[in-house]
DNA sequence: CAGTATCCTCGCAGATACTG
DNA sequence: CAGTATCTGCGAGGATACTG
């Protein structure tokens, strides 16, 4: 990838992956999510090369995921923040973290705990809901035993499948 | 990335990104999610080079995201399916798709619709829930206006922040 | 501090031919 | 069909020096 852009795919996944589907972008977003704001914070936390960091931040700003603000007038001091668009990416980040918590770090591995800032309530679950807002039995998402017969998660869909390869 | 592995990060996001955070893997998973099963289906749908596809499938199988099954005994005919571990990645995929539906393809752009296979109910929302299962007002996730003062999504957290860079 | 500029290297990705 | 093998090259990524 990267060599070829995914823009020609009429697929939200592909387009989204094209924007945030690289590791540094993902890690930068995670870092923003966890409170980092400045170039040097990112650089220090992630250990990424400065030019790469610069490039990624630029891309995220151009794609309106992050917004760059001057912290003090006159001085070269900036901070990065989620835009609306960007903050709605948080569920993606949380979903990834939760998966990792569960499947990479095991039971006793003290996963990252997140609290909602306003209510103080812990955030622990991300769920796929049906249109009416009722939770879809989560079992259905992961019910099929790995070696089961015909694992059928969510296979039916409507939309342009035909143009997948173009 | 890719050059350096993310294994040394004690961070679920980083580790998850290391496994599925590249575009072809993501697209393969999407394709599995939408019903593709075989090497040639992937190859045809995605237009990816065969060696790359082979490599990614291998990696996904090694990481126990996908499982390879022989469809007919004796014949070289295989199919790929989600494992338990893999199927729990579906929320990540859905979260990405939804974000793309909303922010890349606009209102009138007919986003992909997904139906739950068993109930037939449409799946449209993915939500972050608090530990008690109650929905966290979704506004809190995206409330801060892009240019607002101090956009505070979910900033508090507990866990090993210290080891971020090592 | 917050980047840009430069150089160099390695590996991802593409194309194509071949095999069981 | 489902890959493996090989060859090539672009460009992502790293390191470091420099600038406003």
Q: How much is the average pLDDT of B66-79?
A: 90
Name the domain boundary from A48, A68, A88.
A88
Q: How much is the average pLDDT of A77-91?
A: 93
Cβ distance A17 to B26 less than 8 Å, yes or no, reads yes
Residue B123 has pLDDT above 80, yes or no: no
Of the two residues A45 and A161, the one the predictor is more confident about is: A45
In a domain, B105, yes or no: yes
CA–CA min distance A41, chain B (Å): 11
Q: How much is the average pLDDT of A65-72?
A: 93
pLDDT in tens, A100-128: 888 887 654 555 556 655 555 666 555 66
In a domain, B70, yes or no: yes
Report whether B28 contacts B46 (CB < 8 A). yes
Looking at the fold, whether B93 and B61 belong to one and the same domain comes out as no
pLDDT of A164 reads 27
Cβ distance B99 to A16 less than 8 Å, yes or no, reads yes
pLDDT confidence tier of residue B29, bands split at 50, 70 and 90: very high
Looking at the fold, whether A72 and A93 belong to one and the same domain comes out as no
Note the CA–C1' distance, A55 to C7, in angstroms: 17
pLDDT in tens, A118-160: 555 666 555 666 656 666 644 333 333 333 223 223 322 322 2
pLDDT of A23 reads 87
Footprint of strand D on the protein (CB under 7 A): A 2-3, 22-24, 48-52, 76; B 1-4, 38-41, 50-51, 54, 57-58, 68, 71, 76-79
In a domain, B99, yes or no: yes
* Torsions phi, psi for A154 (to 5 deg): -135, 95
Q: How many independent structural domains does chain A possess?
A: 2
CA B113 to chain centre: 17
Nearest nucleotide (C1') to the CA of residue A4? C13
Residue B91 has pLDDT above 70, yes or no: yes
Looking at the fold, whether A97 and A123 belong to one and the same domain comes out as yes
Q: How much is the average pLDDT of B110-131?
A: 57
- Residues in Cβ contact with B129 at an 8 Å cutoff, skipping those fewer than 6 apart: A123, A124, A125, A126, A127, B135, B136
Residue B43 has pLDDT above 50, yes or no: yes
Q: Which of B26, B154, B161 to mutate to test the interface with A (most CBs of A within 10 A)?
A: B154
Note the CA–C1' distance, B81 to D1, in angstroms: 18
Q: Which helix (H) or strand (E) holds B130?
A: strand B122-130
Looking at the fold, whether B39 and B95 belong to one and the same domain comes out as no
pLDDT, averaged across chain B:
72
Q: How much is the average pLDDT of A84-88?
A: 91
Looking at the fold, whether B22 and B65 belong to one and the same domain comes out as yes
In a domain, A148, yes or no: no
In a domain, B128, yes or no: yes
In a domain, B147, yes or no: no
User: CA-CA distance, B36 to B82, in Å (whole number)?
Assistant: 11
Looking at the fold, whether A100 and A70 belong to one and the same domain comes out as no
Looking at the fold, whether B72 and B103 belong to one and the same domain comes out as no
- Residues in Cβ contact with A151 at an 8 Å cutoff, skipping those fewer than 6 apart: A144, A145, B81, B82, B87
Q: How much is the average pLDDT of B122-138?
A: 59
Q: How much is the average pLDDT of B80-93?
A: 92
Q: How much is the average pLDDT of A71-98?
A: 91
Looking at the fold, whether B83 and B121 belong to one and the same domain comes out as no
pLDDT of B157 reads 34
In a domain, A83, yes or no: yes
Looking at the fold, whether B64 and B34 belong to one and the same domain comes out as yes
pLDDT confidence tier of residue A73, bands split at 50, 70 and 90: confident
- Contact, B52 CB vs strand C, < 7 Å: yes
Cβ distance A23 to B35 less than 8 Å, yes or no, reads no
Looking at the fold, whether B53 and B111 belong to one and the same domain comes out as no
Instruction: List the beta bridge partners of residue B157.
Output: A114
- Residue B63: CATH number of its domain: 1.10.10.10
Could you tell me the residue range of the domain that residue B120 belongs to?
89-139
User: CA-CA distance, B39 to B151, in Å (whole number)?
Assistant: 45
pLDDT in tens, A19-44: 898 889 999 999 999 899 999 999 99
In a domain, A158, yes or no: no
- Residues in Cβ contact with B91 at an 8 Å cutoff, skipping those fewer than 6 apart: A95, A98, A99, A126, A127, A128, A141, B126
- Contact, A87 CB vs strand C, < 7 Å: no
| Other CB atoms within 10 Å distance of the CB of residue B66 | 27
Looking at the fold, whether B93 and B119 belong to one and the same domain comes out as yes
Q: In chain D, which nucleotides are within 7 Å of a protein Cβ?
A: 1-7, 9-17, 20
pLDDT of B23 reads 86
Q: In chain C, which nucleotides are within 7 Å of a protein Cβ?
A: 1-7, 10-17, 20
Looking at the fold, whether A24 and A84 belong to one and the same domain comes out as yes
């Amino acid at each position: 990838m990267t060599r070829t852009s995914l823009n020609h795919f009429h697929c939200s996944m592909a387009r989204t992956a094209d924007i945030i589907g690289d590791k540094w972008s993902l890690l930068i977003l995670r870092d923003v999510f966890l409170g980092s704001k400045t170039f040097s914070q990112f650089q220090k936390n992630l250990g990424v090369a400065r030019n790469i960091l610069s490039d990624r931040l630029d891309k995220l700003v151009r794609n309106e995921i992050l917004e760059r603000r001057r912290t003090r007038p006159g001085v070269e001091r900036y901070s990065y923040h989620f835009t609306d668009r960007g903050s709605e990416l948080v569920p993606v980040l949380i979903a990834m973290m939760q998966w990792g918590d569960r499947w990479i770090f095991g039971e006793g591995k003290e996963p990252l705990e997140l609290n909602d800032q306003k209510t103080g309530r812990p955030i622990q679950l991300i769920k796929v809901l049906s249109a009416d807002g009722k939770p879809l039995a989560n079992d259905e998402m992961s019910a099929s035993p790995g070696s089961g017969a015909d694992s059928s998660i969510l296979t039916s869909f409507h939309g342009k499948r035909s143009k997948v390869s173009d």
